[in-house]
Amino acid sequence: MHDQNFKNLILDYPRQALAFFAAEEVEADLTQARITPVRQELLQERLGERFRELDVPLLLEWPDGRRAGLLFVIEEETQTSRFSIHRLAHYCLDLAELMDTERLVPVVIFLRPGQRPARLTLGGERRSYLDFHYLACDLYRLRAADHFDSDNLVVRLNLPNMAHAESERLAVYAAAQLGLVTLESDPNRQRKYVDFIDYYAHLSDEELARYTATYLTERGELMGFAQRLHQEGWNEGQREGQREGHRLGQQLGEALILRRQLTRRFGPLPDWAEQRLQDATPVELESWAERVLDAPTLEAVWPDSRP
């Protein structure tokens, strides 16, 4: 079940997955890269019994040809004690031969602590002949609270898998849910990954009741964290002299959140972009927030811009 959950996650959001799980090996901006899952039928036919269906090989290529293709092999380990570095090395060597490449990055996602080998070295008395290691993403070591505001959906969905105190369980769950509803606009995927969050958060009936009372409206809509973000915008609006009522406070909060996302992606904003945010309507803010995740440039967020 865990393997399938992560396979779906990586295939649905390959850019966000690579940016999170393999940040050491990928460029900061993946918007220009082409990411292709390696076909399972091909692997099964060529690798036979050695093929493991739940592995997720992704081929990362740049259309301008400035870098050769880079193959990522991502696997998830729920029980760390079951991890076999020999099996992983064997699979990577087979896959490298099949794909005729020496550019391959093995990535392993660990959900639980435990003893595991970090490196495999084969050799004799005089020298080593094989030196194999991998990128490890230890989700359980990451502090969930440090990622509550992440604009990477894969990060937000994995908040329940990160380290947090018992008293933070509902806050972590709410931050993951808020990330889903603000970073994913497709209702079908929202429903799909609500289940992902629920599966790993594993709230008790009593915790679900408290969550409903604290974070949901009577209509079942998410509040709590969203209201706090809007309130932050309203407070800052007050400090800046924006005192036109609660509606403006909410709109300003949304503009500030979008501004934060744009600045993280593209750096300090030029005057024309600041003006667009200042003049935006709620509908425009929502539309721009959807574009910012995939836009290759700042100008692409506003196709009709004439800076």
What pLDDT does residue 203 have?
87
What pLDDT does residue 136 have?
95
In a domain, residue 302? The reply is: no
Asked if 154 and 74 touch (Cβ cutoff 8 Å), the reply is no
pTM of the full structure: 0.68
DSSP string, 267-282: SSPPHHHHHHHHH--H
Reading the chain (307 residues) residue by residue, the pLDDT tens digits are 447 889 889 999 999 999 999 988 886 667 778 888 876 555 555 555 554 554 678 988 877 766 677 888 888 888 888 899 998 998 888 888 888 889 999 999 999 999 999 999 999 989 999 999 999 999 999 999 999 999 999 999 999 999 999 999 999 998 998 899 889 888 888 888 988 998 999 988 888 888 877 776 554 556 544 444 444 454 554 444 444 434 444 555 566 667 767 776 777 778 788 778 777 777 777 777 777 767 788 888 776 654 4
> Which segments of the chain does DSSP mark as H helices, in order?
2-12, 14-21, 40-47, 85-99, 153-157, 169-183, 187-201, 205-215, 225-239, 246-266, 271-279, 282-291, 298-301
CA separation for the pair 236, 249 (Å, rounded) = 9
Residue 300: other Cβ atoms inside 10 A: 14
DSSP string, 151-210: S-HHHHHTGGGSB--GGGHHHHHHHHHHHHHHH---HHHHHHHHHHHHHHH---HHHHHH
Beta bridge pairs of residue 130:
122
CA separation for the pair 2, 115 (Å, rounded) = 20
Are residues 177 and 246 located together in one domain of the fold? no
> Strands 34-37 and 56-61, how do they pair?
antiparallel
Are residues 99 and 9 located together in one domain of the fold? yes
Are residues 11 and 101 located together in one domain of the fold? yes
Asked if 16 and 92 touch (Cβ cutoff 8 Å), the reply is no
In a domain, residue 66? The reply is: yes
Asked if 157 and 192 touch (Cβ cutoff 8 Å), the reply is no
Are residues 92 and 7 located together in one domain of the fold? yes
CA separation for the pair 81, 166 (Å, rounded) = 25
What pLDDT does residue 238 have?
45
Are residues 46 and 109 located together in one domain of the fold? yes
Which domain does 266 fall in, by range?
Answer: 226-294
CA separation for the pair 295, 302 (Å, rounded) = 9
Are residues 64 and 136 located together in one domain of the fold? yes
Are residues 87 and 8 located together in one domain of the fold? yes
Are residues 87 and 152 located together in one domain of the fold? no
In a domain, residue 19? The reply is: yes
Asked if 123 and 143 touch (Cβ cutoff 8 Å), the reply is no
Residue with tokens 């890269």: 33
- Taking alpha carbons only, the member of 134, 82, 138, 143 closest to residue 112 is 138
Q: What domain count does the chain have?
A: 3
- Taking alpha carbons only, the member of 287, 278, 275 closest to residue 251 is 278
In a domain, residue 173? The reply is: yes
Using CA atoms in the order 245, 246, 247, 251, what is the torsion angle rounded to 10 degrees?
A: 110
CA separation for the pair 146, 111 (Å, rounded) = 17
